[in-house]
Structure 1
Amino acid sequence: MRTFLYWLALVVTAYVVQTSFLPLIFYRGIGPDLLLLITISFAFLKGRRLGCFMGFLLGLFKDLASGGFLGMNTFANMMMGYCCGIFSNRVLRDSFILPIAAAWMSTISVFCLFEIIFLLLGYGFFPLAHIKYKLLPMLCYNIVFAWPVHVMVHKVDKRVSEKK
């Protein structure tokens, strides 16, 4: 139960920061996706199954809290949790470049996935404008916040492991 409470505190804190304080530094309404970064870091620490499960929970939480299309964030976070979790046994978990590279690749993947879904739903697609005004700011923010989020996830994981 204590493990669940530690992770819940991290997720709720990240979501509160993402929705209340970080909009002060958003660029044209675009900011970092802290829950995606938590999913990525958790997947690298725990593997693909738990990474996929955490992606499901955080994506569902984001979908229910945001009021957008139900299931898009759930699917995207699940995919990123699974894909990053595949490499959990093959990478050095304390590497500085790992969360930054994973945030870069995951942000691009989630952006492409969302754009494909929106295109299939009949929304307008303007590749250069979307890349310039959505993808590039999102990449910059996620790269900047990737390392601090990874450190926090690593600390929570270490604290939870010590308690057992």
Structure 2
Amino acid sequence: MKTTLGWAVILIVSLAAQAVLLPLVFTKGVKPDILLIIIVAAGLLAGRERAIGVAFFAGLMQDFASGNVFGLNTLSKMAVGYAAGLAERKVFKESILLPVLATIIATFFNSAIMQALLFLLGYKIEPGSMMLNQVLPSLGYNILFCIPIHRLIYRMTFGNRSQF
């Protein structure tokens, strides 16, 4: 799964699931950010170059699909991918805590970047309300999905080299 085509398939399927299926399952507009979890896994497992590329296309597709401020998801996801990619050589990739901790940090980091960008663009931001109503519930869902997605990306990147 080291090919660009393989990553494109993962991103397109994930975006379709996130945009079409997840809103049917999760209520009040709060759902896991599958693309963010994939970007974190790509950064931790494949390095920052791969993570930035995956993040660029994931954010771009999410911007096209969402109808929000164009470029907001692309910039925030690229920053998250770069940060996750910096840790690639410094972490034990088979650790079960790695995807959980990285997803927690990435969810808050992504939210902070998006709020800062919206503020700079002149939008009224209420960080406390957004944190309680969107970020924390989304964080819970992200934690539920991060381990299976991390394992999937691990197997696609490295094959079956370990017992992970």
Fold in common (TM above 0.5)? yes
SS at match of 2:94: coil
Inter-partner Cα distance in structure 1 for 2:27 and 2:90: 36
Structure 1, residues 106-155: CA drift from partner, whole Å, max 9, x if none?
11011111112222223222232111101111111111111111111112
Structure 1, residues 35-82: CA drift from partner, whole Å, max 9, x if none?
111111011111112211221121112112222211111111111111
Q: Which residue matches 2:136?
A: 136
Q: Which residue matches 2:87?
A: 87
* Cα offset, 1:28, TM superposition: 1.4
Q: TM-score, normalised by structure 2?
A: 0.89
Q: Which residue matches 1:19?
A: 19
Moved over 4 A (4+): none
Cα distance change on mapping 1:2 and 1:113 into 2, 3 Å: closer
1:154 and 2:154 matched: yes
Q: Is the 8 A contact 2:15 2:61 kept in 1?
A: no
Q: Is the 8 A contact 2:103 2:142 kept in 1?
A: yes
Inter-partner Cα distance in structure 2 for 1:110 and 1:126: 16
Give me the CA root mean square deviation: 1.9
SS at match of 1:89: helix
Q: Which residue matches 2:44?
A: 44
Q: Is the 8 A contact 1:28 1:133 kept in 2?
A: no
Stretch moving more, 125-134 or 28-37: 125-134
Inter-partner Cα distance in structure 2 for 1:49 and 1:3: 13
SS at match of 1:103: helix
Stretch moving more, 94-103 or 15-24: 15-24
Stretch moving more, 92-101 or 56-65: 56-65
Fraction of identical pairs, as percent: 32
Matches within 5 A, 1:107-126: 107-126=107-126
Alignment coverage as a number of residue pairs: 160
Q: Which residue matches 2:70?
A: 70
State the AA in 1 paired with 2:35.
L
1:9 and 2:22 matched: no
Inter-partner Cα distance in structure 1 for 2:112 and 2:146: 19
* Cα offset, 1:8, TM superposition: 2.1
Q: Is the 8 A contact 1:7 1:156 kept in 2?
A: no
SS at match of 2:89: coil
